[in-house]
Amino acid sequence: MARSEQAFKAVINDTRPSAGGRAYAVDITGSNYNHFLGKKIGDAVDGMFVGEGDQSLSGYKLEITGGSDVTGRPMRPDLDGAGVKSVLVSPGVGYKGKRYVKKNAQVYRYKYDGIRRRRNLRGNVISQDTRQINLKVVEAGNRTLPVIFGLEEEAAAETPSDEEE
């Protein structure tokens, strides 16, 4: 079963308060792809494995917070392994827990107490079926993320920033 060009889509969340929750998407291919296989949700990863060349996040430390597979199934931190499991879940990761009710030609959204559903969810280990990995910045490097991804000029980044303390 040969796949053409194995890759992950990494979504990096900038955790600085001044960034306002900005996220950046990067493709992970080649030898960096193999580095992520077998890692679990909650593991710390060096930023040099994310991005290519000038867009590499060297100096950054990133934490894996989740992901999803080929079909869009979310990875759940409390399920061990890389396979798909059928789980009875209450609202949380992989299930929002809403019911839509039609009343008087209007649609209302309710969240009942104790509502549960059986859902097929992916385990917490990154495998070849994983397509997206969610990462958050734990330790920042010398250059800020907007500079690395070309959204700001290099000169703007040389001013002292709020990430030192």
pLDDT of residue 19: 80
Q: pLDDT at residue 165 above 70?
A: no
pLDDT of residue 71: 92
Number of domains comprising the chain: 1
Residue 165 located in a structural domain: no
DSSP character at residue 153: -
Q: Name the token pair of 142.
A: 């010398």
Residue 90 located in a structural domain: no
In a 3-state reduction of DSSP, which class is residue 111? coil
Q: pLDDT at residue 163 above 80?
A: no
Quick one: average pLDDT of 36-56?
Answer: 86
Contact 26, 16 (CB under 8 A): no
What count of Cα atoms within 13 Å lies in the side-chain half-sphere of residue 142? 7
How many residues would you count in the chain? Answer: 165
Residue 59 located in a structural domain: yes
Residue 46 located in a structural domain: yes
Residue 116 located in a structural domain: no
Give me the domain span that covers residue 27: 7-78+123-157
Contact 13, 23 (CB under 8 A): yes
Residue 86 located in a structural domain: no
pLDDT in tens, 97-129: 888 899 999 999 888 888 889 999 999 999 999
